[in-house]
Each structure stands twice: as C-alpha cells, then as structure tokens.
Amino acid sequence: MSQTIYLNGEYINRDDAKISIMDRGFLFGDGVYELIPIYNSKPFLINKHLQRLRSSMELVGMRTSSGLTENLEQIMLELISRNQYVNHFFYVHITRGYQSSRNHIYSEDIKHTILIMGEEYKVFSREKLENGFKGCVREDFRWMKSNIKSISLLGNVMLKNYAAQNGFYETLLIRDNKLTEGSASNIFVVKNGQVMTPNLGVELLPGVTRDLLIELFRKNNIVVEETDVTEDDLLTSEEVWCTSSTNYCVPITEIDNKKIGKGNVGDYSYKSYDLISNFISAL
Ligand code: PMP
C-alpha cells in the first residue's frame, strides 16, 4: 500500500521521496531523530519525545524555532489521518540540511531537512515474554554524547548486529565496569530485591520509556534506584529487562549463555510490562 510521508514541507508518496547527496545527514550523519509510537491512532507521549528532539537539536547546535514542536505535532496528526495509522510508529528525522560543498564546517543559515514517516508496528505480546530473551555483554565503545539521539548510529548498529549475528536479542553495554544501556534500549536490573537502573549522563539516552516506568513504579510504591550498576551487579542480579519505545519491556533471562536469577521471567519484569500496558490502555 502506498504511504504518504512528510518531507520538507510536502506530503508525498514514500517511493517518490528524494534528498540530495549533498545533505549533511547523508554525508556526515549530521542530524537527530525520534521514534514515536502510535497507539490507537494517537502519538504516544508526544510532548516528551518532542522535548527530547528539541534538546538533541540544541545539543548539536541546530536551530530550533519556538513553533517547532507544534508544527511537528500537526504534521504527525495529518499523517495519521492521511494514512489511517492505528498501531504504528513515527520516525522523525531532522538533519542540518543541504550544503553545496562537503565541508565539516556548517553554514549557520542552512535549512534543516525534515522527514517524518510512519511504519506499522506491534509490540511483543505478554505471552511472547514468557520464555525470556537472551542478552550479551560488550564494551561500550561509543562516543561520550550518547544522551543525544543522533542519526550517527554506527556504533549502535555494530553492537546490535553483534547480538543478532550471535543469537542474542540485545547487547548490554559496559563502560569502566559500569552498565550504561543496551544498543537500542535502556536497562533495568533487580538485585537483592532492589530495582535499579543506571543514572542519566552522557553515556546513555534518557529513554522516554525508562522515565515513564520509573514514574509508574513510584506511583505504585516500588522504589527505583537510579545508580551505578556494575558488571558484577548485572551478572548476579535476579532480573534484567530492556525498555524502549518499540518494545517497552523485554525480559533478559540469560546473559552470554548464563542464567539471570533462576532463568525465568521475574515478577518485576511482568510488573513493568503490565504497568505500561495498562497506562497505554487507559489513554
Ligand atoms: N537507548 C538507546 C541507545 C536507544 O536506541 C533507545 C531506543 N530508541 C533507548 C535507549 C530507549 O529510548 P526510548 O524509551 O525513548 O525509546
């Protein structure tokens, strides 16, 4: 089925969309992005995603106008209506834009390229969680600005593909003996009955799902510690799960072929899934 996307002021068929090879996003990976779920035809936590997009743009020195987030929201609502999106996600991609010569130095007045497109998507069912998923651990070799949702994802791509090529769902990343995040997710751990997740900082993305889950846990009187999690904490924990906008809770029951806890999906993992599912159903 043909899909209408938004590119630089125009609503066009996805197959007809073109950008210049001189776009800095293409040449330098010079841009930022967001991925926003759509549940029941409504963009999920859109304000939080657009706030993070604005923050990513500011952190890489891209211009932001006061009406930017309202405009992007309007475009998304228009795309939902034109494409009759129900359970999909939006990919929002903003590059620094077209520049007539390839130069690391960008012109200040360059017009940003804005692309918004949707794709069909279904999160894992609760039944699908039951067997758990396998993870692996690798050194986090990415840059020290992983709090920016940059389109330059080569490090994450390499780390996620290491997992995929070796039969794992996710690569959990360790820097200086501390857990940072997954290659495409944030990580929660239960150790000695305490729910923990790494502190925010330049080493990890401030995940919208991470934030939501902490809020929902706290509302349900479950303490979540945002703290350092060592590699040893991770490997000797009772439960581990990943959170992200595409799959809001994925329990990891084995890391590098060693069981986590008893090797079953634990209560807090199910609780995380249920809290977020219920939150979405109540919207
Ligand atoms: N960390 C990384 C590296 C990611 O790619 C993602 C998913 N985009 C996340 C964390 C989770 O963020 P969110 O919950 O906002 O999708």
Q: Are residues 134 and 104 in the same domain?
A: no
259 is catalytic: no
Q: What is the pLDDT of residue 245?
A: 97
Q: Which helix (H) or strand (E) holds 128?
A: helix 126-129
Among 98, 119, 140, which residue terminates a domain? Answer: 119
pLDDT tens digits, 231-254 = 999 999 999 999 999 999 999 999
Residue 46 has pLDDT above 80, yes or no: yes
The Cα 162–Cα 178 span in angstroms is 20
Q: How far is the CA of 202 from the centre of ligand 1 (A)?
A: 14
pTM for the whole thing?
Answer: 0.97
Alpha helices in 166-266 (DSSP H): 208-219, 231-235
Chain-centre distance for alpha carbon 239: 21
Catalytic position from the list 134, 149, 160, 191: 149
Q: Hey, which of 33, 38, 245 would you mutate to test ligand 1's pocket, going by the most ligand atoms within 8 Å of its Cβ?
A: 245
Number of other CB atoms surrounding residue 45 within 10 Å: 20
Cα–Cα distance list, 6 to 3, 42, 88, 95, 123 (Å): 10, 17, 16, 14, 24
Using pLDDT thresholds of 50, 70 and 90, give the confidence band for residue 154. Answer: very high
Contact call for residues 38 and 79 (beta carbons, < 8 A): no
3-state secondary structure of 105: coil
Closest CA to 40 of 71, 75, 70, 84: 84
- Alpha-carbon dihedral sign for residues 28, 31, 37, 42: negative
Largest separation between any pair of C-alpha atoms in the chain: 58
Q: Are residues 154 and 269 in the same domain?
A: yes
Q: How far is the CA of 248 from the centre of ligand 1 (A)?
A: 10
Q: Are residues 153 and 271 in the same domain?
A: yes
Contact call for residues 213 and 188 (beta carbons, < 8 A): yes
Q: Are residues 140 and 273 in the same domain?
A: yes
Instruction: State the total domains in the chain.
Output: 2
Q: What is the pLDDT of residue 2?
A: 84
Q: How far is the CA of 235 from the centre of ligand 1 (A)?
A: 22
| Mean per-residue pLDDT of the chain | 97
The Cα 220–Cα 274 span in angstroms is 12
Q: 249 is in which domain, residue-wise?
A: 127-281
pLDDT tens digits, 248-280 = 999 999 999 999 999 999 999 999 999 999 999
The Cα 131–Cα 127 span in angstroms is 8
Q: Are residues 182 and 237 in the same domain?
A: yes
